[in-house]
Structure 1
Amino acid sequence: MQMMLYDKANLEDHYVPKEDWKVAAYQAFAAKMTNREDKFPCIPATLGFAHNHLKYGFVPDPRSSEAPAAVSELVRQFTDNSRQFGKYTSLILFFHTPDDLRHHSSVEHYESLFWDLLSRTSGEDTLDWPAHIPTEPSHHFWEYCLHGESYFVYCATPSHVNRQSRYFPYFMLALTPRWVLVEFNKVPKQAETMKPLIRQRLEAYDTISSHPDLKLYGEMDNYEWKQYFLRDDHSSAPSCPFSRHTQKKSHASEGQGTS
């Protein structure tokens, strides 16, 4: 399966496979990023969209056996080139979401699916976990890592209602490299001005107050994994469901049908 990264120019010029769901997914995302009445809370994301810093990929059904390898390959391509894409870059992954998944899945089901996908995708990683990132999600400096890069992972689903900031008509992930967030915070005036604006937008966008797990990276009481998938209420999982697969794959072993 050949996986490709696209940018806004590619997609708006219709340089994309013609499957209807792919066209619809991108159009729904573009509408969300450009809505001037209901402004999407994450201002850096809207800037990334406006400046064509975002990259996009299309992935099979997240339940499928093909999905982890597809995610891994797209993240690899993105990681290898992300510093050339712009200071607001993120990787947006749209997943084929069949009707049975879209219309008959609870938020909790999507949460389980999300963590299962991240765990399975880690089994595709051929690089060591970065030495400076703790391997235990219970550590306040833990982040999801793939291909040697640490990422903040955002998940949106068709089942979110109260948190429209986490609603999308398809299962969707957005992966933002830690270096993007570090660079953003290197300009204190910009960061201090934008953060309260983001909170204000969030309060207006959702019909429920901000989730108590939304905190700052590195704070002793912050756990990044809790922010990756926010439930549609104020609850959260008692422990991180992520299970890191440490066994690496090699081209030789793949050729022999083992891993």
Structure 2
Amino acid sequence: MNEDHVQALCDQETMIERARGDDAPEWLTRHVETFTGALAGERNGTPFPCHFGTNALERGDLLYTAVPSLTDPEALFGFRDALLEYLDTYRDHAELAPLVTFFAPPADGVDAVSEAGWHEALWHVLQFLHVNDPEPWPADVPTDPDDSHWEFCFGGTPMFPTSRAPFYHDRRSRYCPVGLEITFQPRDVFDGLTHDTEAGAHAREVIQDRLGDYDGRCPHADLGDYGVEGDREWRQYLFSEDESQFPDECPITVTREVTALDADPGDAGGVGAD
């Protein structure tokens, strides 16, 4: 961790220092500035809705990486390796240590990409990770995204990747002017905070109240809870602004078998009913 290159997994102090350096890519500097500014600031007199994120930022608990391309295989393999390192590291770093991932904008600029294009970009990244995952899909997680207990998995770990992108106009809590930004949160960080616990219900009430004030509109209709019938995790990874540009069905294809060419030959696919 904290190696001296853009794609290295690093802690908050290192990422901020790196982004301020003379040799930092301009897009990385802007990403860090807009991310920290959003989480530490207010809009409509209201703090950023996710108080877990704002508290983690204040404590310096977040971990970071950056990816210089949304499509280049070498860059995406570098990201895969950083994510694997993160999964080996985050529990020792802090009690709550999501991975914030900054992607370089497309060469033609963010205005050249439609909302549908940003959805495609997100799912291209997630599909790449899945295809090149050295670990099998967990046996206790369904492979069908149209199941309320489905969640994206990587490195044998279910996780919730929440994204921000440039196409949002009113929903500013999800707005990132620089490019795609994905924050990966392993499912176990939500232990004790599920919808059926007192702490979880309170957290959701606080976040949804803040969302309405911060965005100046009702929380998104797809905002739901894991495992609740009718709610779907994949629809929450990058909320729609224009439903006509949102995928009709989840764009990822999941298999239990390991397909990564550099995986340990001894790895086997997960076993379990979907």
TM-score w.r.t. the length of structure 2 is 0.84
Matched residues in 2 for 1:27 and 1:223: separation? 32
SS of residue matched to 2:108: helix
1:97 to 88, 93, 105: 105
**Separation (CA, whole Å) in 1 of partners of 2:193 and 2:10:** 24
Q: Which runs of 5+ in 2 are unaligned?
A: 266-274
2:221 counterpart letter in structure 1: P
Superposition deviation, residue 104 in structure 1: 1.1
**1:87-236 superposed matches below 5 A:** 87-98=95-106, 100-169=108-177, 170-185=179-194, 188-233=197-242, 236=246
The corresponding residue for 2:33 is 27
Does the CA-based 8 Å contact 2:66-2:101 persist in structure 1? yes
Q: CA deviation at 1:68?
A: 2.6
Deviates more, 1:122-131 or 1:97-106: 97-106
The whole-number CA distance in structure 2 between the counterparts of 1:86 and 1:192 is: 23
1:249 aligns with 2:261: yes
Aligned amino acid, residue 22 of structure 1:
L
* Identity over aligned pairs, percent: 25
CA contact (8 A) 1:126 1:248 kept: yes
Distance 2:131 2:113 in 1: 26
Match in the other structure for 2:271: none
In the alignment, which residue of structure 2 is the partner of 1:257? none
**Residue 64 (1) aligns with residue 72 (2):** yes
May I ask how many residue pairs the two structures share in their alignment?
A: 253
Deviation at 1:162, TM superposition (A): 2.1
1:18-57 alignment, distance < 5 Å:
18-36=24-42, 37-57=45-65
Cα distance in structure 1, aligned partners of 2:18 and 2:68: 20
1:237 is aligned to 247
SS in 2 for 1:143: coil
Cα 1:28–1:86 shift into 2, 3 Å: same
Distance in 2 (CA, whole Å) between partners of 1:115 and 1:187 is: 30
Shift of 1:23: 1.8
Q: CA deviation at 1:251?
A: 6.3
Structure 1: distance between partners of 2:48 and 2:6: 32
TM value normalised by structure 1: 0.88
Match of 2:14 among 6, 10, 14: 10
Deviation (angstroms), 1:18: 2.0
- Indicate the SS of the match to 2:102: strand
- RMSD (Å), alpha carbons: 2.4
